[in-house]
A = this chain, B = another copy of it.
């Protein structure tokens, strides 16, 4: 922690801070500048984080030297975390992973059809929502447990693992029963009670970044889950909100190298919600893999005209097939594989 005083801070004001530091058993290093005084603090910064030092008289600003997240940081664990599921599937390893399926589960038949299709071309996970966070109360809210059952059936038929969104703390038992990976949606990234709840579970979690959240906020949300004991956390960037409206959100492609520098957790990209329009999904997916993402989670639908949700952004099966070929080439060009 570095404490910067105002140009006219009095000796009394500076001494006041020095006493506070002494109380906390922290060691101050005072730099008496020409215009102002600066104190560098030695010791555990966490002790200071709960002290509102900015409000002390004479203080201009206080700067953290350490990042506020601990366990999800590279400093805590300096190799990439590999999350192993089932026999052969690893998220965060050499092979990139593809999670694919419809936005929402609409019927058993369609889900089964799509599951078989995406599996054939390389997907390892089936995505599909049974509980949907819809902007309007008048929109279809999902099939609920029935949808989870269809997922289980599709898993049985194809061997795909199931990733699906949980929105309510009361639903954990259901998700522990039916899901392989519990997805926390962007709108719930700072629903801290939900994070704590899945943090107590043994199921891997796919945590989506909130649309207005910084990378620091994102890692703090992951820390909520990780610090409860659940270390199988995958991060998912899905676009942030900006002034640009040609795409639904703006995919933060730079977040991939930033996350790879700061955390050991695997990084998955959701190109579908970022794009909002199917014509843009493949380009964003290729970019994600080229930038170093560990996988994508993508929407696919054979009859988007009939989709109850987000039809415009779902890839047609044929587009999905072509994309898988491109992703494999890019992965191989960079020493990975699909």
Contacts and interface: CB of A to CB of B under 8 A. Distances in A.
Contact of A326 (B224, B251, B280, B334): B334
Given A168-B193, A243-B242, A330-B333, A280 B304 contact: no
Contacts of A280: 254, 257-258, 261
A54 B312 contact: yes
Contact of A240 (B140, B244, B245): B244
A270 to B, nearest CB: 13
B55 A38 contact: no
Contact of A191 (B43, B188, B245, B290): B188
Interface residues of A, number: 108
Contacts of A83: none
Nearest to A138: B46
A333 to B, nearest CB: 4
A283 B256 contact: yes
Most buried by B among A192, A244, A254: A254
Contact of A333 (B2, B212, B283, B329): B329
Nearest to A140: B50
Contacts of A68: 135-136, 138
Contacts of A257: 275, 279-280, 282-284
28 contacts: A2-B2, A2-B4, A2-B40, A4-B65, A31-B42, A33-B41, A33-B43, A33-B65, A34-B42, A34-B43, A36-B65, A49-B138, A50-B139, A50-B308, A52-B305, A55-B304, A135-B190, A136-B220, A167-B192, A187-B192, A240-B244, A241-B243, A254-B275, A254-B280, A254-B284, A257-B284, A326-B334, A333-B333
